[in-house]
Structures are given as C-alpha cells and as structure tokens.
Chains A and B, each alone.
Chain A
Amino acid sequence: MTGISVEATTRGSWTVLAVKGPINSYTYNELQEKTMRHAGRVDMAVDLSGVNSMTSAGIGVLLAAVEDAIAAKKRFVIVAPSEVARLAIESTGFADQFPSVPSLKELPA
C-alpha cells in the first residue's frame, strides 16, 4: 500500500498542509491528525495537488476541517486539487463548501 505524506509549512498567515499520495481508509489518519492539529486554530490551506486518489475518508477529513474553521471563524482553503481530488469533492454535490485556489500564490493575504 502506497503511503501518504503530509507536510506542514507556514506561508504568511497561512499554515499549508501539502498532501502527497492516496487519501483512503488506510492513510486518512495522518491527514486527519495534522488537520485536527491546525483546523480552527489558524488559517489553513490544504494543498491537494499531489493527491493521486481520494475516497470518502478524505472528504470527511476536509469537511471536518472546514466546519472547525467556520466554527472558529478561521479561513480554510484547498489549493490546486488534482483531478481525482477535484472529482471526489464534486461528487458530494457541494463543491462550493470547499473554497479553493489554483495555486499557493493565489492564497488571500
């Protein structure tokens, strides 16, 4: 089973989590742990450009992060979702619930 890597960096006022690999029932724990550490505490951006597959487990993690951010009045944004990540998000019917930007350069100030 291919693993996942989640690397946290800071970019201005944003904490960026760069995800690489598949997000599924075996790998989502690491993403969940990292998002829970930051969601609702800081403005968080999740870079999904390196995601090569994503199941509902990943959507659940992102949804929880969005809800934490809204509850804490923090910002949350998805950065450059890969094709599979974009399709997974669109499959919910509520892609507009996941604000996204095409690249890290487009992150709001």
Chain B
Amino acid sequence: MGLTLFTLLAALLVALVAVGVKGHGSSMQAFRAAVAASVAFALFLSAGYLLAEYYRPVALYLLRAADLFAIISYLAFLRLALSYPYASTLVAADVAIVTVSVALTGFMVFTDLYVADVKRLGIEFIRFEGNFYTLTTTLGASVGAVAVVIMVVRAARLKSRVYRQHLVIMALGVAASLAWGFTLSVLGPALKLSRLYALSATNILPSVLATAYALSSTRVFQARTAAKALGAWTVIVIGFGVPLGLATGVGFLFRATSSVTSVIVALLAFVVFGRWAESFSRGRLGGERDEASREQLEAAIAHLDLSGGRDTVLGELSAIMGEAFGSSWFAVLSEDDSGGLRRIYPDDDDEMVAAPGSPAIEALAALDRRVILKTDIIADASFASMKPVLSALFDVLGAEALVLAKEGRRVVGVFAFGPKRSGADYDALDYEGFDAVHGKLFVVAYYARHVARESLLETVEKEIGLADQIVRSIQEKIDPIEHAGVNVSFKCESPRGLGGDLFDSVRISEHRWFFVVGDISGKGLNASMSMVILKSMIRMLLKEEQDFIKLVARTNTFIKERLPRGTFFSGMFGFLALDKGAIYFVNCGIPAMLFRSPGLDSVVETQGEGKMLGFVKNIEPYLKTRKLVLPPGSRVLISTDGIIDAESVRGERYGKERLVRILGENRNSSAAETVAAVVRSASAFAGGRIDDDITVVTIDYDGPPKEKKR
C-alpha cells in the first residue's frame, strides 16, 4: 500500500469536505463535478498503481482513465471560473466541456496514442508514453492554467471583496494543484521523482479544499489575519509535524517484528503531538489574546454609566465600538411604540428607517441570527430569499454590519456599523467580537427603548431609577398564569430596586405553562443586566429546544460562556401541566420548594438536590427532571435564598422552618395573601430590611379542567 494510502486518504478527505459545502446553481454543480472528477482521478490512479506490478493491462486502462479524470477536473474548474459567483447558464461552455470529455475518453483510454503501457517494479514506476502524451498533458495543464487566469482576471474586475477573495483563493488552490500534479506526474521521470508517482494524485487537495473554503466562507479576511493563521500553521507543521513524522517513522521501522506495536506507536505519537499542537495553537497563537480583548470590550460596555442619559450613553458606546472595530461611524435604531425602527443615534432626528410591518422589519424578525455582515448578505446562500430586502436596508443605512437586539421575533433595536476607517471589510474576527458583546448591546438597546430621552431625564432618578425602570419593564413582561384550575401569585423584590431575581412564565398550550424562578448571582445593576439577558435567552431557547433537560443545559452553557465570570443561577425550571395535575421541574439549586397537601395537612420539602447553573461547562449529566403530583387543593411555595438567608439583627437566619410555619398558618389564605405574609414575616424578622433580592411564588391548584366542569 505505502504511498498509495496517502492518495486514498486525500480522496476521502476531499469527498468529506465537499459533502459539507452547501449551495446550488451552476457554480456549485461545476464544483461538484470537479470534486467527483478529482476523487475519481485519485481512486483510479491508486488502483492502477497498485495493479501495475502484476496486472499491467488492467492498470494501463485505470491509469489512462485517471489522467482523463484529472483533465476533466480542470475543465470543471474552468467552468466554475467562467460563471462564479453568478448562477449563469453557459450552455455552449457546458456542451463544449462534455464534448471534449467524451472525445478525450475515446482518445486517451482506448488508444495507445496517450500512454502505450505501464509497469511497476517495487516502487519504481515506468510509463511508456504514446506519441501524443506530451501534447495531451500540456493541453490538460493549460486548461487548468486558463481556469486560474480567468479566476484572477474576474477577481480583479469584481466589486464585491468577498467574491474577489473567493476567486483568488480558488485560483491559488487550482494553481497549486496544477504545479504539484504536473511536477510529480508529468515531469516525474525527468526529475527522478518517479518513485513518488503514487502521490501525484494528492494534488487534488489544494484545489478542492481551497474551493470548498471559498464557497463556504461568507466573510473576508484581512491580509494580517491570513498571514497570522498561515504563520501559526507553519509553526505547527514544523514544530509538531516533524517530531510526529519522526516518531511515526521510528514506529514504522519495527513493523516487521511487531506490526501492532508500530501502529500503537504511530497512534500515540499522533494523539500526543496532535494535542500538543492544539494546545499550542490555542494558547500561543492569538486565540487567548482575542478572547481577552473581547472580554475587555464586554467590560467596557457593562461599565457604561446609564445615569448619563440616552444620548451620552450612546455617544460613549459609539466611542467604544469605534475603537474596538475601527468603524467610521456607529448608529442605533430603536423600536418605537408602533413597532417601527427609528434612528435615535447619532442624528437624534428620530427618522423612521423601517416602518412597522415593512419587509425590512419582517426580514429582521424572521432571521435567526443576531449579527449580519454585508458580506453575508452577498455571499451566504441562506440569505438568498431576503437578499433584496436586507441589501436595501444596508444601503439605506450605509452600514456594513448590523447587530440585532431581539426579544423573540420583536426587533427591539439595531446597532449599525459604518465602513471601517481602514477601508477593509468586517471579517470573521469582527463577527466573533460582535457576537460576544451581543448580550451587553441587548441591554443597551433595551435601555434606549424604554428609558426616556435626555430632555425628560431630569425628572427621573439617577442610575438606580433608570436601571430599575428597565428591569421592571422586562420583569413585568410575562405570560401570567391565569387559568380556572390554578391561582398563582409571586413577588420579586430587590433591596435597592435593582436585582438579579427572576420569575418568568410562558404559556405553552391551553393548560400548560413553562416557568422559571431563580436568582442570578451578583447584586445591583450587573445582576439585573445578567437577569435581563438570561430571561431573553431562556425565552429564545424555549422556542428552539423541545427537550426539557437540554433547555436547562443550554441555559447553563449560556451562563458559563456568555455572562461575566463568577455568574451563576440558582433556581428552578418548571412545566405546570394543569391537565395532568402535575409540575415537572428541574431543580437548579432552588433552596425551598414546599408542598402542602390538603389530605396530609403537613408541609414537605420537594425540591430535592439540585445543581446550580454556571459552574460546569456541561451540566446535562447532573440534571434530573422530577414530577410533583398536585392533588386538588394543594399548594406549592417556591422561594429563592433571599428569604431563607434573611438575617435578624442578632445574626439569626430566617431559615426554612419559619417559611414552613407561615405556610401552615396561611392554609386558608389566598396565594397572594400567602406571598404577602411570607415577605412581611421575613422583613419583620430582618428588622425591616432584607439585604438580598427575594422571589416568592405560590401556586394553588384547584383541580384539572375536566374535574372543574363536572
């Protein structure tokens, strides 16, 4: 097998990569034809080479066919060069390519004019060339060269930078394949490289991989970024690839005495050096620095002084974003009361940019992305149906990047970024940066949407009052649990008006609600910002995720990866199924979920053990869904730690026992009265001042809907 193995692996790799490239149109068809021909080239060449020692007649046909497929692949790349990036129908070109391919098949495979015979002695490969061998290979290579030239010329003439970049990448890939293949296959004997003949088909790698990358990427990269990546991989290849090769080579030397040992040594070397290279590339090649700068940017936005008024806040944000992304300008659109989008910064003229119900609003609402670069609209096939509308919106704004603040389908705000001062396009790194700060921008969008203009600001309290306004407007936005079979009451309070406690409920069906109760760590503005973001995220995940455990696990991942370090969530996620008379819940560290059954007249703790969110990356293995059956007349009381941990002036803790007692004393009170009694009791215990955020929820279950009707 030997070197042929590498050729087969190359065929497998390009086939797998090509399968991952999505798209349609004539360019994509040309790419698929090129991949199919390239894979066939590699497979036929490998098979022919292997058989050339003992089955020369079969090998001869296989190797002729291999070269035929190599030329067909260049014809397919030529077709791609002629039409990309447009879905042009080039009937004449297609007919010509098919005709040439058929003619070449007859000429190259079934006559001796191209290759008369082949022979292999060990790894020495000998080819007996026909009279037209040189002419055919030169013309075949010329097809590839013409494809490269056309790609370069068309790249120079295209206005779109992203398409220009695509064509240049493709041209480089095809040129590399051409040089590589021609050197090993055609010039091999003259250059004394005939022993490497079996590797000549690995030249399919650069052309197919480069084209696959070009067709999959929708963002430009800057020369500096590309140079950095290239440098990184060079270091990895030299620093880690060479020792890996040596280790594998040493293992190979022992193959005769112990083939198993040699395979194990090679695998171990691969694992060790692979992990080493991965760790090196993550730690030393800029990944961590990029992350650190994104964290600094997040921190800068989080520290915006909201008491300064809307225009001042947006002005400061503009300066931060301009410095971070190099934008020439920055604008903010905010949803107005009618549902339209108005420009509120920098002109402050409240110009209507997108009217309510307009195609632009509908397109933004339908998008499941929060960051859009102009290059995405141009080059990403998934935007095809919205391309005209979104392009028009980008043109109206003159923007090159948009960050959307959405609550479900509603677009609360849009942050628009003008062209970069350097003249470059926003690239993949910028995209990651926008994505990382999206949560913080969401809060600013909410601030801009809900906080009064500067002229009215003087009548409003300072920071706490402002932020409290935001928090309350979001906190109060729930689907209230209103149903004949249940009575739900809750209280969410923070000692300073600002807090991270959360109660939210979402109606799932006629008799079912999803709800979440809990506490985001931290205090004041930071906690309330995290709460706002988390509430929005949970609602978004609820629409996407059918699996209850996975919903909680994804929330955990969001907290761990997106919220500030040290943030965690203690609480519970529940589904109230009134038709089943049950609560299905996941305890994520809620300290008290008390249940009182009318039959037993006693109170029991039902929360069980729970794991708080935000401590580990993957919490799924730790999560467990529990079911609490609710007999008619039963009551459930849920409380966050603010009540339980309330301290008296003597340093005593309120604790669960007092909560149980209040629940028992209020067995004939309504849900609302019971909540009020708990808060009153804890507040009195703490000398009138509870230090922490508190949330208390009481659910009184009267019976399933059917029983009520009877």
Same complex origin of A and B: yes
Task: Given the known inter-chain contacts A25-B495, A91-B589, A94-B616, please indicate yes or no for A56 contacting B565, CB distance below 8 A.
Answer: no
* Residue on A nearest B292 in the bound complex, by CB: A71
Please report which residues of chain A, range 40-64, place their CB below 8 angstroms from some CB of chain B when the two chains form the complex: 52-53, 55-57, 59-64
Kindly list chain A residues whose C-beta atoms are within 8 Å of the C-beta of B568: 56, 59-60, 63, 92
Q: Which residue of A lies closest to B690 (CB)?
A: A25
Q: Report if A97 contacts B (CB, 8 A).
A: yes
Assuming the contacts A55-B645, A57-B521, A67-B566, asked whether A26 and B615 have C-beta atoms less than 8 A apart, the reply is no
| Distance between B591 CB and nearest chain A CB, rounded to angstroms | 7
Taking a contact as CB atoms under 8 Å apart, the answer to whether A67 and B591 are in contact is: no
Closest to B295 in A: A71
Residue of A with least CB distance to B645: A55
> Which residues on the B side are within 8 Å of A65 (C-beta)?
566
- Is residue A12 contacting chain B, with contact meaning CB distance below 8 A? no
In whole Å, how far is A66's beta carbon from the nearest beta carbon of chain B?
8
Chain B, 83-95, contact with A by CB distance < 8 Å: what is the 0/1 string? 0000000000000
Contact A91–B591 (Cβ < 8 Å): yes
Q: Which residues of B contact A91 (CB under 8 A)?
A: 570, 589, 591, 612
Residues 14-58 of A, flagged 1 when their CB comes within 8 A of B and 0 if not, give 000000001011101000000000000000000000001101110
Contacting pair B651 A53 (CB below 8 A): yes
A108 at the interface (CB under 8 A from B): no
A93 x B611 contact (CB < 8 A) = yes
A97–B616 touching, CB < 8 Å? yes
Question: Inside 8 A of A24's CB, which chain B residues have their CB?
Answer: 645, 647, 691-692
With A91-B589, A92-B612, A92-B615: A56-B691 Cβ-Cβ less than 8 Å: no
Question: B565 to A64, Cβ gap below 8 A?
Answer: yes
Per-residue CB contact flags for chain B residues 577-598 toward chain A (1 = under 8 Å, else 0) read 0000000000001010000000
Residues 547-582 (chain B) with a chain A CB within 8 angstroms: 564-568, 570
| Complex alpha-carbon distance, A65 and B568, angstroms | 13
Which of B564, B616, B691 sits near A25, CB closer than 8 Å? Answer: B691
Known A24-B692, A55-B692, A92-B615; contact A60-B609, beta-carbon cutoff 8 A: no
Q: Is the CB of B653 within 8 A of A53?
A: yes
In the complex, per-residue mask of A81-109: 1 if CB is within 8 Å of any chain B CB, else 0: 00000000001111001000000000000
**Closest CB of chain B to A91's CB: distance in Å?**
7
B523 near A57 with CB under 8 A, answer yes
Please report the C-alpha to C-alpha distance between residue A57 and residue B499 in the assembled complex, in whole angstroms: 12
Is B610's CB under 8 angstroms from A93's CB?
A: yes
Main secondary structure of the interface of B (DSSP, over half): loop
Q: Which residues of A contact B566 (CB under 8 A)?
A: 60-65, 67
CB contacts under 8 Å to A, within B247-299, are none
Partner of A26, one of B521, B612, B691: B691
Q: Which B residues are in CB contact (< 8 Å) with A64?
A: 564-566
- Give B519's nearest chain A residue, CB to CB: A56
Decide if B309 is an interface residue (CB 8 Å cutoff): no
Q: Is the CB of B692 within 8 A of A63?
A: no
A33 CB to closest chain B CB (Å) equals 13
**With known contacts A26-B691, A56-B519, A57-B522, A93–B565 Cβ distance under 8 A:** no
B591 near A60: Cβ-Cβ < 8 Å: no
Chain B 601-619 per-residue mask, 1 if CB under 8 angstroms from chain A, else 0: 0000000011110111000
Q: Closest CB-CB distance, A81 to chain B, in whole Å? A: 17
Residue among B566, B570, B591, B622 with max Cβ neighbours from chain A (10 Å): B566
C-alpha spacing A57/B693, complex, angstroms: 11
B519 lies within 8 A of A63 (CB): no
List residues of chain A with CB within 8 A of the CB of B589: 91-93
Rounded to whole Å, the gap between the CB of B203 and the closest CB of chain A is 42
Using CB atoms, name the residue of chain B closest to A40. Answer: B565
Residues of B within 8 A of A25 (CB): 495, 523, 691-692
The yes or no answer to B641 lying at the interface (CB within 8 A) is: yes
Contact assessment for A55 and B641 in the assembled complex, using a CB-CB cutoff below 8 Å: yes
* Residues A60 and B519 in contact, CB atoms below 8 Å apart: no
Q: Find chain A residues with CB under 8 A from B521 CB.
A: 56-57, 59-60, 63
Give chain B residues whose Cβ lies under 8 Å from the Cβ of A26. 691
Residue of B nearest to A28 (CB): B523
Residue of B nearest to A65 (CB): B566
Closest to A72 in B: B288
Contacts of A68 in B (CB 8 A): 565
Docked CA distance A92–B614 (Å): 10
Could you tell me the distance in whole angstroms from the C-beta of B592 to the nearest C-beta in chain A?
Answer: 11
What separation, in Å, do the CA atoms of A88 and B368 have in the docked complex? 39
* A22, A60, A62, most chain B CB atoms within 10 A: A60
Q: CA–CA, A53 to B568, complex, Å?
A: 19
Of A53, A56, A57, A67, the contact of B647 (CB 8 Å cutoff)? A53
Give the residues in chain B near A93, CB-CB below 8 Å. 589, 609-612, 615, 622
Chain A residue, CB-CB nearest to B693: A25
* B residues in contact with A53, CB < 8 Å: 645, 647, 651, 653
* Nearest CB in chain A: distance from B216 CB, A: 31
> In the complex, which of the residues A24, A25, A53, A97 has the most CB atoms of chain B within 10 Å of its own CB atom?
A25
**Which B residue's beta carbon lies closest to that of A52?**
B651
Task: Enumerate 6 A-B pairs (CB-CB under 8 Å) in ascending A order.
Answer: A25-B691, A57-B521, A60-B567, A60-B568, A63-B521, A92-B568
Residues of B with Cβ closer than 8 Å to A?
495, 519, 521-523, 564-568, 570, 589, 591, 609-612, 614-616, 622, 641, 645, 647, 651, 653, 691-692
Given A60-B521, A93-B622, 14 additional A-B pairs, CB 8 A: A2-B651, A24-B647, A24-B692, A26-B691, A55-B691, A56-B519, A59-B568, A63-B566, A64-B565, A67-B566, A91-B591, A93-B615, A94-B611, A97-B616
| In the complex, the 5 A-B pairs of residues with the closest C-beta atoms, listed nearest first | A64-B566, A93-B611, A60-B521, A94-B615, A67-B565
